Structure 1
């Protein structure tokens, strides 16, 4: 973690104020004054400011059911930011893990733990994301009520998306109705679900993320909750196992 971020997370200083006090030589790391705000530090270091050893606030992990026409951004733009829906302290410390398009709804994870969010959406962990997809055209197969088996096979084998050299990783499709499916993917390329269906000649007209890993989108639209410790640790890796010196 950067030193200025550590100071912010341990005090009421904002990033600009933290940079100033660090540059003024008012912060020491393990007994030595450090004036580089970008210096990498670890939670186990003794970081002293104003005579006391700083202790960062615990990391926070939130789940939000994102409404349509909102932005996965910390600030408003063409649509309002989803951060307007949160009632928490220090919202500027939080970031969004696994952003959704403005017109996409469903599960969004929000945290101030950069290592955890990096690992959740790191392709090497193959974290599965489940989307409910509404389509323009019917995808029924030969028998009514069955999804086109050839299409299922194509998604399972991987699709070559325009402008990309590697096919998508295997995806699982489950039938809901003639124009609705559940799609499970384990990567997060740009507009991936929409591009996958465009590649096979269809069009996504509604997209909702229902699950990430074992975490279900179980709150009403526009509402949020904190994740339990079991949910945070349930992705098959330790939140503190990697990237100690990168974030």
Structure 2
């Protein structure tokens, strides 16, 4: 791929702007040599304004999403993309979230520009487990684990029962829920069906990948080893 197109696809600017950047010597190799538009330099050896390039196409990012941010590029208010460098919104292919977390839910959120990888994660056949930590308005009744794990629970206005979900009781108003599907506001609706209300919700893990050690609003590019953890339950 020509250097101008590569830089434009990474969101650094328009092709015209990148032609100017190259002409002005802002794009170099690691030895400080100015690069030409037809340079064959490896991606990892290219610097833009003395900084390494953002990851190439196929990137997967893990974010520890804070409460109050929406998983959208168009909605009003604070968006999860505001926590990434501005140019990430301009990448081609588009950097999309893998699934969503509602505005009032925090925790593990994945982004990628790799459509094949995205569908691999969200495919019902993959059954990638997601772990949620829920804080409840009132004590649990004691029958929630049996109900959630039955494979027969129906949510209001739906015609298909939920897949069995695991429930670990931390204490009477705190629960850890393990889901293998992702329906709209599923955790909140499950507890609402039992007469309870979720006051705080965190997705702490996707497969074997945890947000532990990643500050709220923080993010990181995943290595191949990290990506493999998504499909591991432990």
The answer to whether the Cα contact below 8 Å between 1:74 and 1:95 also exists between their aligned partners in 2 is no
Shift of 1:9: 7.5
SS of residue in 1 equivalent to 2:155:
coil
Are 2:173 and 1:172 equivalent residues in the alignment? Answer: no
Partner of 1:120: 121
Are 2:145 and 1:152 equivalent residues in the alignment? Answer: yes
Partner of 2:222: 227
Moved over 2 A (4+): 8-11, 50-53, 55-58, 87-93, 233-237
Shift of 1:76: 4.7
Are 2:198 and 1:204 equivalent residues in the alignment? Answer: yes
Computed over aligned residues only, the root mean square deviation of the Cα atoms, in angstroms, reads 2.8
Shift of 1:233: 2.9
Shift of 1:232: 1.4
Partner of 1:163: 157
1:190-233: per-residue Cα shift (whole Å, max 9, x none)? Answer: 11111111111111111100000111012011111111211213
SS of residue in 1 equivalent to 2:8:
coil
Structure 1: runs of 5 or more not aligned: 1-7, 19-49, 141-147, 238-247
Q: TM-score, normalised by structure 2?
A: 0.72
Cα 1:65/1:51, change in 2 over 3 Å: closer
Q: TM-score, normalised by structure 1?
A: 0.68
- Picking from 85, 89, 95, the partner of 1:91 is 89
Aligned equivalents of 2:97 and 2:70: distance in 1?
10
The answer to whether the Cα contact below 8 Å between 1:107 and 1:211 also exists between their aligned partners in 2 is yes
Cα 1:163/1:134, change in 2 over 3 Å: same
SS of residue in 2 equivalent to 1:123:
coil
Aligned equivalents of 2:208 and 2:107: distance in 1?
15
Aligned equivalents of 2:110 and 2:176: distance in 1?
20
Question: Number of residues paired by the alignment?
Answer: 188
SS of residue in 2 equivalent to 1:70:
coil
